[in-house]
């Protein structure tokens, strides 16, 4: 049985209060955890300099980018469901597609991808790391924006086979795109910039998010995605459990 929109929104708000909660929790428990936090560093033989425990509650650039990838993936699920309904001639509010494409445009393309293009890709290119992969990712960013233009232009006219194909094409490109960034590009990027540079970038990323979307830009975006999922009837995660 699907939850109400109010239930979904409250659930989402609880899940996404990540920055303030984590930072507060660490400030309270930092002394007690200082002795064991360094042993939990990811990666065998990871260096654990003094003071790292105080940074455990900070959202790093990689975490920021990966959490934003999760928002993208949820939009891809919305695109999946919308294209399925079009192909099977089921009822579909085209406004859901317009709203989802708007999130892709403003949160993913104009913010998330711009961070990658401004802060991540140039450093990797300068270091001579993953240069061919970066070139492909840049091309896919460009092509994705063209697809979003086409989706936003066609969606107001209602369901059509052409719209379904555009949605399918976007999903087909961006699932491997995000997976390759998360599993290959971001780990290499962290090594390239080093610990101090990585922490500084985290502050820059947060400043940019607040500048564009306000203090709770990520949280508000997740709530809006949840609203669209509720409209489509795909908000209940349990429905995706294999029998």
pLDDT of residue 202: 87
Least trusted range by pLDDT, from 57-61, 113-117, 186-190: 57-61
State residue 22's pLDDT score: 41
pLDDT single digits (tens) 10-55: 555 555 454 444 444 334 333 333 333 333 333 333 343 444 434 5
Instruction: Please state the rounded mean pLDDT for residues 215-243.
Output: 96
Higher pLDDT, 53 or 135: 135
Chain mean pLDDT for the chain: 84
What pTM was computed for the model? Answer: 0.78
Residue 132 pLDDT more than 80? yes
Asked if 58 contacts 30 with a C-beta cutoff of 8 angstroms, the reply is: no
Question: In the chain, pLDDT over 90 holds for what percent of residues?
Answer: 70
Q: Residue 59 — pLDDT band, cuts 50, 70, 90? A: confident
Q: What average pLDDT does range 169-173 have in this prediction? A: 98
In this structure, are residues 60 and 202 in contact, taking their beta carbons and an 8 Å threshold? yes
> What CATH class is the domain 5-12+59-233?
mainly alpha
3-state secondary structure the chain: CCCCHHHHHHHHHHHHCHHHHHHHHHHHHHHHHHHHHHHHCCCCCCCCCCCHHHHCCCCCHHHHHHHHHHHHHHHHHHHHHHHHHHHCCCCCCHHHHHHHHHHHHHHHHHHHHHHHHHHHHHHHHHHCCCHHHHHHHHHHHHHHHHHHHHHHHHHHHCCCHHHHHHHHHHHHHHHHHHHHHHHHHHHHHHHHHHHHHHHHHHHHHHHHHHHHHCCCHHHHHHHHHHHHHHHHCCCCHHHHCCC
Is a pLDDT exceeding 60 seen at residue 154? yes
Res 10: pLDDT:
55
Residue appearing with tokens 């992969």: 133
Q: Is the pLDDT of residue 3 over 90?
A: no
Residue whose C-alpha is closest to residue 112's, from 87, 144, 88, 80? 144
Domain boundaries, the chain: 5-12+59-233
* Cβ 160 vs Cβ 86: under 8 Å: yes
């Amino acid at each position: 049985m699907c939850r109400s929109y109010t239930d979904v929104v409250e659930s989402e708000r609880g899940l996404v209060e990540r920055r303030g909660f984590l930072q507060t929790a660490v400030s309270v428990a930092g002394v007690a955890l200082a002795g064991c936090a360094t042993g939990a560093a990811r990666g065998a033989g990871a260096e654990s300099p003094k003071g790292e425990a105080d940074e455990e509650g900070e959202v790093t650039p990689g975490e920021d980018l990966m959490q934003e990838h999760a928002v993208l993936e949820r939009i891809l699920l919305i695109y999946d469901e919308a294209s399925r309904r079009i192909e099977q001639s089921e009822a579909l509010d085209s406004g859901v597609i317009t709203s989802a494409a708007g999130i892709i445009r403003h949160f993913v393309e104009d913010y998330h991808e711009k961070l990658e293009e401004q802060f991540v890709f140039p450093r990797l290119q300068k270091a001579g790391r993953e240069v061919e992969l970066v070139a492909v990712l840049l091309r896919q960013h460009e092509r994705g924006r063209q697809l979003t233009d086409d989706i936003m232009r066609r969606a107001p006219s209602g369901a059509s086979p052409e719209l379904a194909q555009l949605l399918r094409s976007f999903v087909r490109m961006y699932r491997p795109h995000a997976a390759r960034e998360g599993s290959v590009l971001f780990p290499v990027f962290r090594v390239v910039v080093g610990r101090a540079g990585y922490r500084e970038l985290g502050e820059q990323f947060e400043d940019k998010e607040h500048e564009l979307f306000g203090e709770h830009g990520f949280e508000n975006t997740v709530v809006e995605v949840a609203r669209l999922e509720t409209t489509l009837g795909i908000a209940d995660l349990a429905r995706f459990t294999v029998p």
